[in-house]
Amino acid sequence: MLTEIESSVDSPHTSERQIARLAPQSDWQTQLKEAVRSVDELLDRLQLTARDLDQPALHNAPFPLRVPLSFVNRMRPGDPNDPLLRQVLPSGRETEPQPGYSDDPLAEQGQNPAPGVIHKYRGRALLVSTQACAVHCRYCFRQHFPYADNRLSRDDWQQALAYLSSQPDVNEIIFSGGDPLSLPNDRLAGMIADLERLPHLTTLRFHSRTPVVLPDRLDAGFLEMIRSTRFKTVLVIHANHTRELNDEVHRALAPLRRIGCTLLNQAVLLRGVNDRLEDQCALSRRLFDCDVLPYYLHVLDPVRGAAHFDVDDREARSLWQSMQAELPGYLLPRLTREVPGDAGKRWLNP
Ligand SMILES: *Cc1c(COP(=O)(O)O)cnc(C)c1O
Ligand code: SF4
């Protein structure tokens, strides 16, 4: 693909429009660097002031603000309750005492049989190849983990591979994080090539919010990787609200579908973001427009700082029942909770 871009740029017949169409595809790393990182800048861009907020924003939060401009551009200017804004703006409520909320609610730290490997469920193993994310979500259950960009070293990776080759029951690898798509293509391609040498592996899955917050990340190099791997591929995106899925996201996902990648969505049920029936139905229908099927609707993990997003189980179940009455079965996500020690996600739907 690189040669195609180079040659088309060199050709005297290439129109400016063609170049403009090709140019942004290599641009995602710049967009990552240019992500908004300050509360004041974010509020400024949305024509909001501190006075418009019902809760004071938290400046210099330990889990810092981070949001790409592409996502900011989908927020409604002048609306302090915008559901996209709520997911990323650090709130003073994060520092309130929150009994029952902990730093590691899923007890993941110390669950690694090898560096970067979380193997809790039979048949599939999670690979945490980076802690970095394109966006920082205030409800994230990993927000108190070291979020620096500490990638697996070469030696760690060899240990992870050795572990996986000793586990013939595992047939699916899930690239998670952090966000695996914050890694460059060459890095991902190297890991995939190593994994392809393990004959018992059949399926490669990505869990990533990047296609939603930074759709240009699904660039030609990534598509080529998905097209050429011997693995069956699954991309589980993470959108919580219908307005996150603008045309840019739709356009970026379309080629993946065409090359046979299964597209699913996981969402988190969040107070003030997507806790009304119309929010959930609109999300499911919009996902279907984008060729993505709803997979999981997770209830909030009790992570310290996120209590204001909580929807209790009774309300969550009743919302799900109303969704069932509105939506075709294939647009109904499974309502789940992750319980440390369980053999899989626990289904809460009645
Ligand atoms: C969620 C999760 C998975 C994937 O579970 P599925 O039900 O297959 O989507 C795998 N491993 C871990 C540790 C997980 O938390
Ligand atoms: S993208 Fe996922 S892992 Fe990263 S901060 Fe958001 S919820 Fe957490």
Predicted confidence band of residue 318 (pLDDT cuts 50, 70, 90): very high
As a dihedral over the C-alpha atoms of residue 215, residue 216, residue 218, residue 220, rounded to 10 degrees, the angle is: 160
Beta strands in the chain (DSSP E): 117-118, 124-128, 172-176, 203-207, 232-237, 262-268, 293-298, 334-337, 346-347
C-beta 118 within 6 A of ligand 1? yes
**Separation CA 67–CA 177 (nearest Å):** 17
Question: What is the pLDDT of the chain when averaged over all its residues?
Answer: 90
pLDDT tens digits, residue range 334-344? Answer: 999 988 888 89
Q: Where are the domains of the chain?
A: 105-347
Q: Which residue has the higher pLDDT, 248 or 349?
A: 248
Q: Tell whether 290 is in a known binding site.
A: no
For residue 133, the ligand closest to its alpha carbon is 2
Mutation test residue for ligand 2: of 94, 127, 130, 179, the one with most atoms within 8 Å of CB: 179
pLDDT tens digits, residue range 110-131? Answer: 678 998 999 999 999 999 988 8
Mutation test residue for ligand 1: of 108, 126, 348, the one with most atoms within 8 Å of CB: 126
Q: How many CB atoms lie within 10 A of CB 8?
A: 15
C-beta 89 within 6 A of ligand 2? no
Predicted confidence band of residue 108 (pLDDT cuts 50, 70, 90): confident
Q: What's the CATH number for 105-347?
A: 3.20.20.70
**Separation CA 143–CA 306 (nearest Å):** 10
C-beta 301 within 6 A of ligand 2? no
DSSP, residue by residue, 199-237: TT--EEEEE-SHHHH-GGGS-HHHHHHHHH-SSEEEEEE
Helix (H, G, I), strand (E, B) or coil at 247: helix
Q: Model-level pTM?
A: 0.91
pLDDT tens digits, residue range 185-199? Answer: 999 999 999 999 999
C-beta 214 within 6 A of ligand 2? no
Distance 19 CA to ligand 1 centre (A): 41
**Location of structure tokens 């699954």:** 234
> What is the pLDDT, as a whole number, of residue 15?
46
Q: Burial level of 24, CB count in 10 A (0-12/13-18/19+)? A: middle
C-beta 345 within 6 A of ligand 1? yes
